[in-house]
Structure 1
């Protein structure tokens, strides 16, 4: 037991260096661009959500209650669309053998339940 090195608070630095060798470094802009190209409907849904929220707040400021209500309903629909698209993107990024919903649920169960 004396030969095991006690972890320090800075072990993540070495891990980061080791992982950097596996993945090429990318800037924040490159990362955002890659993620938007992988699932382009999520940024579209987020943009519609922000636009509806902004216009709804502007309509509230102007005193147009009808337009404000319409925009808030559009915002909720756009948020729902964005969440569904994001979950769908995660589901599609799974390996093909895990895409079956029943197999996906079973993969989280302990072995004793799977054999019954």
Structure 2
């Protein structure tokens, strides 16, 4: 597998690809245009009931199509190696995108697993507190409610600012106590 730095290709949009292909093989669109022109002239000749001109234009259409076919074959042979390199590059880009997608999916699964583990721990603590309360323990219901509403805390060295939700809760709880 070649290193991506060795290849001179880059990802391109449809329009960029169209322009590049037009520059690489200008004879193909030229042949298509000649074919269309011959068909248009044959149609006009048919409307004017000029059968000689119409037959001549149908022959010209055949020649134009043959020219286009030759341009396609010659261009295919001439650019064969470059197209092979481009296909390899595009395959590598697709593999990289697929790997990035898999990595993002795994990160999402890990985050969900961590969230689920935190929820299970909180649920187990609440269940334990409820059992103690039912058995006559002294734990207050406020502590149980606080434990249920508590989000899992990540261990980090940096301090985080008070979020809007926490500030609103503090205001509401401050007004209830007054």
Change (3 A) 1:95 1:29: closer
| Count of residue pairs the alignment pairs up | 74
Residue 53 in structure 1 maps to residue 43 in structure 2: no
TM-score, L = length of structure 2 = 0.39
When you count helix as a share of all residues, which structure comes out higher? Answer: 2
Residue 89 in structure 1 maps to residue 91 in structure 2: no
Change (3 A) 1:58 1:44: same
- Unpaired runs of 5+ residues, structure 2, are 1-8, 83-178
Match of 2:20 in 1: 34
- Unpaired runs of 5+ residues, structure 1, are 1-21, 97-116
Larger RCO: Structure 1 or Structure 2 (Cα < 8 Å, ≥ 6 residues apart)?
A: 1
- Poorly superposed stretches of 4+, deviation over 3 Å: none
TM-score, L = length of structure 1 = 0.59
Q: Residue 93 of structure 1: CA displacement? A: 1.2
Match of 2:137 in 1: none
Alpha-carbon RMSD: 1.9
Structure with the greater alpha carbon radius of gyration: 2
- Where 1:87 maps in the other structure, the secondary structure is helix
Residue 25 in structure 1 maps to residue 12 in structure 2: yes
